[in-house]
Amino acid sequence: MTIVISVSGKGGAGKTTLATLLLKTLLEEKVEGDILVVDADPATNLPDAIGVEIEKTVGSMATLLKKRIEERSLPLEVSKSELLEAWVFETLVELQDFDMLVMGRTEGEGCYCYVNSVLSRILDTIVENYDIVLMDMEAGLEHISRRTDHDVDKMIIVTDPSKMGLNTARRIRDLTEEVHINVKEIYLVGNKFNEDLSGILKDAAAKMGVKYGGYIPYDPNIEKYNIQGIPLLKLPSDSPSVAAVHKIAKRTGIL
């Protein structure tokens, strides 16, 4: 049984930070099972935060297939579906403790329904091979809306201490119904919050009809690591943010 955890929120709210520290928590706690980390945000910040070099993305492979179809330069002996599947599996980065898949973005304009439908099936196949799937989403939920064969067990919506952050969180909550995603549990988590603001966060979660997941306090170590280009996976375990995410993982039932 695959457990799918998605992290979403407005740009800059801290979802990539939370996704990275959730992975760090899972690794430090030596949670059993194979882990797949998916960067589904076209901004593609998660590899840097984790410290993984990426050469190819799913989006670049989809773009390549579109180009080959338009040029009519595909090998006749291989179907388009089989070719895209092979290319997507090539983008999968296999590491010692977890694997990583980066969606990236497709180039060009317009919708290519065939490629999208094939891509959806391939992603479903990949997900089934893992026990835990941790997804760093874009706010629009574009990629997750294509995954029709899997539920989301735990959706965590991240907000910073701003009205825009809370409004975006509310819209994301509404989008889960509009795109017909079956989400079992939704949590609201604050980033750069403190104890004084936690009451506001709890009230906001209650008004949205979601569960309160906790908050990450301001952590100067994160700014220091980000500006120096040091992966957040290397943050010391006693950093305020790391300790807070450990509590969030327990509160949300991830641990």
Question: 37-68, pLDDT tens digit by residue?
Answer: 999 888 889 999 999 999 999 888 888 888 88
Instruction: State mean pLDDT over 157-162.
Output: 97
Question: Over pLDDT 90: what percentage of the chain?
Answer: 62
Structure tokens at 117: 């439908």
Which of 116-120, 139-143, 165-169 is the most confident on average? 165-169
Instruction: State mean pLDDT over 159-179.
Output: 90
SS3 148: coil
CB 5 within 8 A of CB 69: no
Q: How far apart are CA 24 and CA 30, in angstroms?
A: 10
pLDDT at 40: 85
Element (H, E) at 213: strand 211-216
pLDDT at 141: 53
The domain spans of the chain are 3-251
pLDDT over 60 (residue 102): yes
Please tell me the number of Cα atoms within 13 Å of 83 on its side-chain side.
17
Distance from CA of residue 80 to its chain's centroid?
27
pTM, 2 dp? 0.91
CATH of domain 3-251: 3.40.50.300
pLDDT over 80 (residue 110): no
pLDDT over 50 (residue 1): yes
* Closest to 8 (Cα-Cα) out of 191, 151, 178: 191
Instruction: State mean pLDDT over 221-244.
Output: 96
Nearest 5°: phi and psi at 159? -130, 145
User: Whole-number mean pLDDT of the chain?
Assistant: 88
User: Which of the 8 DSSP states describes residue 231?
Assistant: -
Q: How far apart are CA 111 and CA 115, in angstroms?
A: 9
Task: Give the C-alpha distances (Å, rounded to integers) separating 126 from 48, 86, 193, 211, 241.
Answer: 23, 12, 36, 29, 31
Q: Work out whether strand 99-102 and strand 93-94 pair parallel, antiparallel, or are unpaired.
A: antiparallel
Tens of pLDDT, residues 119-151:
677 878 888 899 999 999 876 555 454 544 457
SS3 250: helix
